[in-house]
Amino acid sequence: MRTMLKGIAATTLFALAILNTASAQSGDSIPVYTTYYYSDASHQTLVGTIRGECGWRWGGPYVQYRLSGTQTAYAYEELAYYCGDGGAEPL
């Protein structure tokens, strides 16, 4: 089960990277999300996060996501900010 979840997460991050590259090439701002992972369904104990980092390359913005801690099936995702031509843009 754990291997399957890691595979799903990796596929999701890969798809997000492709979508972010396509958005960056069109000149639009890219939404950047933060995902919080909890130990169980009660969402009381935070065990990991995935945070997006805004960057710039080839004349366009991009987002790179980094996992810190443990990834679980109990997650909450929120829009953190937008990544645009001038860097991070507030909501």
The whole-number average pLDDT for the span 23-50 is: 87
Instruction: Look at the chain and report how many structural domains it folds into.
Output: 1
Taking all residues of the chain, what is their mean pLDDT, rounded to a whole number?
A: 81
Beta bridge partners of 68: 49
More confident residue, 65 or 2: 65
More confident residue, 85 or 63: 63
Greater pLDDT, 25 or 9: 9
- The one-letter code for the residue type at 47 is V
Summarize the confidence of residues 30-54 as an average pLDDT. 96
Domain range for residue 61? Answer: 2-89
**What was the pLDDT predicted at 7?**
60
Q: Of all residues in the chain, what percent carry a pLDDT higher than 90?
A: 51
Q: How far is CA 85 from the centre of its chain?
A: 18
